Amino acid sequence: MNNRHSFPLNCPICHDQRFSFFRGTSHLQKCLGCGVVLAQPETSPERYSEEYYTSWGASSDELEHTRFLKQKTFCRWLSDLEKVVKPGRILDIGCAMGFFLEVANRRGWESFGVEISPFSADAARKQFGNRIHNGTIMDVSFPCDFFDAVTLFDCLEHMPDPVAALSKIRMILRPGGVVLISTVNVDSLSCKLLGARWPHFKPEHPVCFNSSSLATALKAAGLQPIRLKPAVKNLSVRYILAYFRQYPLPGISRLLQLLTTILPDCIARFPLPLQFGEMLAMARKS
């Protein structure tokens, strides 16, 4: 095995010390204990500048299309959450520009957000004011047992120490409160097909889960997993093309570019319920 000096000596999820390099790479390492895949972390706030949101169309009229797609997804996921917990106080960690918080507010939740990016935190503050905290969940203070629900959408994989973050979440959840997480799944079909070329293997994703390692992390933080299923998102051809412009994948990027030139715009923007190699997990504080 090659030198792992830039990786942790112990798995941050299960503390095993046995690793192998993932699919022959030198920048991805798989824990042989729980199956989590680790990358060398690059998670400074500077990474999440306005440029990071290019795939969202943050500086163009595409932003409204992105809001539309994401909020269709969030409505479905929030419906799942509301089957388990009634609307109350909710915290969205990694809230970006506040699209989920808008949906939650409309459905009777009292919404708060935490966002590491100064750019998107400022955008969210235009609607939610001082309920948006710029930083990480480890930087902010909330009272114990304060929230009825906490959400982390496309966020947990950005955290070098997910168990510490989940432990903090457990502290601020009320007894019976619920956390809802969408995160990457290295056991997904797309990861198995693409291997190290999988688009979710990015510098800002130091910890990539499978279902086993996610359940291990939740239990280590004192949370009881209650539901796990593939994450279905509403995506369009135009949105997927913008994503693969930001994170190119030969062949797929060219195919999507061709589709957008021949498809009518109304079809290229049509929301399609798709699985993108991610899972949706729910856990409760007992």
Matching residue, tokens 């969210």: 124
Average pLDDT over residues 197-224: 95
Q: State yes or no: pLDDT of 148 exceeds 80.
A: yes
Q: Locate the domains of the chain by residue range.
A: 45-234+274-284, 237-270
pLDDT at position 255: 81
pLDDT at position 3: 44
Superfamily of structural domain 45-234+274-284: Vaccinia Virus protein VP39 (3.40.50.150)
- Tokens for 61? 């009229």
Long-range contacts of 52-55 (CB under 8 A, 24+ apart): 52/117, 52/119, 53/96, 53/117, 53/119, 53/120, 54/242, 54/245, 54/246, 55/242, 55/243, 55/245, 55/246, 55/247
Average pLDDT over residues 60-89: 94
Q: State yes or no: pLDDT of 160 exceeds 60.
A: yes
Q: State yes or no: pLDDT of 4 exceeds 60.
A: no
Q: State yes or no: pLDDT of 5 exceeds 60.
A: no
31-73, pLDDT tens digit by residue? 999 999 998 766 666 678 777 787 676 556 788 999 999 999 9
- pTM, entire model: 0.92
- Contact criterion met (CB below 8 Å) for 205 and 184: yes
Neighbour tally for 218: CB within 10 Å = 26
- Percentage of the chain modeled with pLDDT above 70: 93
Mean pLDDT of the chain: 91
Q: State yes or no: pLDDT of 253 exceeds 50.
A: yes
90-100, pLDDT tens digit by residue? 999 999 999 99
Q: State yes or no: pLDDT of 86 exceeds 70.
A: yes
Q: Strand, coil or helix: what is 214?
A: helix
Between 59 and 131, name the one with better pLDDT: 131
